[in-house]
């Protein structure tokens, strides 16, 4: 299982939000220094989220991004990616994989064309979900709005072979160290074994990462647990 340490950027700073709330922010420091530190500790990939871009609907951190892509780690980047031109510009800036969120739900025909053009390794579709009874409601626009569709129906727009990488976040758990939604991830693995699933939201320590590995997910995004020193990146990478 791949460990992807997370860097969320807002106003040029490395921050973490609680439950995706832009008014509940903890600031941790310089994102470039943090990226260099993660790479020095052995991270193969770094997951970067442009929170300003998520609100504005277009990537906003290109100057910082060019510095971050100079580290030894590969960069997976999301936030505000709405158009193919955004994807191309990010790849040109050195991003190895681009995360597409709202567009993946709202314009699946178009996003499938992007994937066909660039290859399945270049794009990861992100589905930010909120539990709703026995289903999972997909959120859009930086988690601020319901997309009006559930997760399984949304994934049906991407038949086997059309998509490889997905990132799934339970927005009720992100940034609060409450543990991942293991039931959601097991269900996804059973329904779509063809997909490489990255789990995001809730990781609080090494035991959560061990349990995630047992679900068969391909990767885990780790944020606040690293910043609050509940887990050391070297220990997570050694699992």
* Residues identified as active-site: 8, 128
Query: What DSSP line would sit under 85-103, residue for residue?
Result: HHHHHHHHTT-SEEEE-HH
Place of tokens 């600031």: 27
Q: Tell me the two tokens of residue 177.
A: 């160290």
Please, which residues have CB within 8 angstroms of residue 62's CB and are 6 or more apart in sequence? 89, 93
Q: Tell me the two tokens of residue 205.
A: 């320590």
Place of tokens 């779509």: 192
Strand 2-10 with 219-222, pairing: parallel
DSSP character at residue 51: H
């Amino acid at each position: 299982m791949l460990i992807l340490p997370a860097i969320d950027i807002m106003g040029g700073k490395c921050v973490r939000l609680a439950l995706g709330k832009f008014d509940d922010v903890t600031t941790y420091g310089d994102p470039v220094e943090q990226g260099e530190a993660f790479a020095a500790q052995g991270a193969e990939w770094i997951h970067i989220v442009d929170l300003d871009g998520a609100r504005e609907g277009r990537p906003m951190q290109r100057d910082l991004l060019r510095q971050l892509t100079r580290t030894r780690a590969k960069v997976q980047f999301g936030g505000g990616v709405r158009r193919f031109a955004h994807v191309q510009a990010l790849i040109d800036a050195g991003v190895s994989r681009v995360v597409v969120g709202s567009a993946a739900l709202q314009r699946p025909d178009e996003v499938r064309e992007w994937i066909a053009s660039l290859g399945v390794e270049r794009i990861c579709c992100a589905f930010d979900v909120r539990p709703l009874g026995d289903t999972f409601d997909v959120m859009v626009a930086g988690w601020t709005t319901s997309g009006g569709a559930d997760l399984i129906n949304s994934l049906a727009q991407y038949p086997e072979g059309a998509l490889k990488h997905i990132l799934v976040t339970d927005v009720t758990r992100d940034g609060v160290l409450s543990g991942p939604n293991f039931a959601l991830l097991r269900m996804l693995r059973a329904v779509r074994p063809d997909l490489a699933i990255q789990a995001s939201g809730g990781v609080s320590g090494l035991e959560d990462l061990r349990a995630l590995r047992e679900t068969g997910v391909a990767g885990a995004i780790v944020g606040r647990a690293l910043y609050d020193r509940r887990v050391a990146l070297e220990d997570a990478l050694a699992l």
